[in-house]
Each structure stands twice: as C-alpha cells, then as structure tokens.
Amino acid sequence: MSMIAVFFGRLFIAVIFIVSGISKLIHVNDTNAMIAAAGLPGGLAIPTGLFELIAGACLALGVATRLWSVLLAAFVLLTILFFHREFTDPVQAMAAMKNLAIAGGVLCLFGYGHTRWSYDALRQRRRNELAAHRAQQHATEAELRAARAEGRAEAVGAPVAVEKRPFWRR
C-alpha cells in the first residue's frame, strides 16, 4: 500500500512542476517581468520553464528521480529566497510555506524514488538480473576449469583429489 502512495505522491508532485513549466513557457513575457522584478537577470523564463517541465516529466516517469528531486528541492528553496522573502506579508508567508512543503515532498522522493512503476526501479531490476547472470556464468566457468584440470591430471596419471560434490553438481 505504501508503494502505491509513493507512486501517486510522485505523480502529484510532478504535476505541479509540469503545469508550472508549461505556464512559464506559455506566458514568457509575464514570467520574465516577474523574474526581473525579483532582481534576477531577464531572459530566464524559458530555461526555468524548460527545467520545470523536464524535471516534472522525469519525476512522473521515475527517471533519475533522486537527481531531479535534489535539483527541484534546491530550486524551490531558492524560489522562497528570491520571491517569497517578505514573511510579514501573510500571502508571501503562505507561499513560502507551500514551497517549503513542496521541497519536503521532493526530498522524500529522494529517499523513496526507486519504487515500483518507475524507470529507475526497472533499470535497477535489470542490473540485478545481469549481475546474477554474470555470477552464475562465472561459477559455471570455474567448474569447467576445475573439471578440465582434473581431466588433464588423470591423463598424465597423477593422483586426483576427489572432491565431494552433491550428485546434482557432478
């Protein structure tokens, strides 16, 4: 049940960034004006919108979830610093608390991002399967080398140390 909650939580947080990124890309002039009013250099609307859109899509799909969650947490905390620093204004204080909650949510994804129904989990499962296959291959090759060495020793006439192996491994 907790994996389902993490999955939906990841999707809900991703929607926030996807919608925000699309909005910034649609309203570039308004976003640039808001960024300039905060004292930041103009022209950041498109890069910011693309960042939010790509990061949100990656969170939704579960691609590099830990990386994107840390980047988004830093982004949201910087948003508080630059855009919601008037804590005496109730509206600004509420926006800062909302962003703080979002940063907490994406940091939780840092810890639980490799859950089912994500690309990261699929990739990790595949890595584990490949590692198990390589280990099995290595064990098989070691047994073959031992059997060949035993055969060569018998051919030469040297005494052979008989290894006690279970009947299914002979």
pLDDT of amino acid 159: 61
pLDDT of amino acid 160: 55
Q: Is the pLDDT of residue 36 over 60?
A: yes
CB 53 within 8 Å of CB 31: no
Tokens of 150: 């035993």
CB 31 within 8 Å of CB 45: yes
- Mean pLDDT for 61-81 is 94
pLDDT band of residue 5 (cuts 50, 70, 90) is: confident
- pLDDT tens across 84-132, in order? 988 899 999 999 999 999 999 999 988 876 676 777 877 888 888 999 9
DSSP 78-146: HHHHHHS--TTSHHHHHHHHHHHHHHHHHHHHHHH-S-SSSHHHHHHHHHHHHHHHHHHHHHHHHHHHH
pLDDT of amino acid 163: 63
pLDDT band of residue 54 (cuts 50, 70, 90) is: very high
Helix (H) and strand (E) counts in the chain? 6, 0
Predicted TM-score of the model (pTM): 0.73
Q: DSSP code of 62?
A: T
Q: Is the pLDDT of residue 70 over 90?
A: yes
Amino acid at 163: E
- pLDDT tens across 125-157, in order? 888 899 999 999 998 988 888 888 888 877 777
Cα–Cα distance between 12 and 47 in angstroms, integer? 22
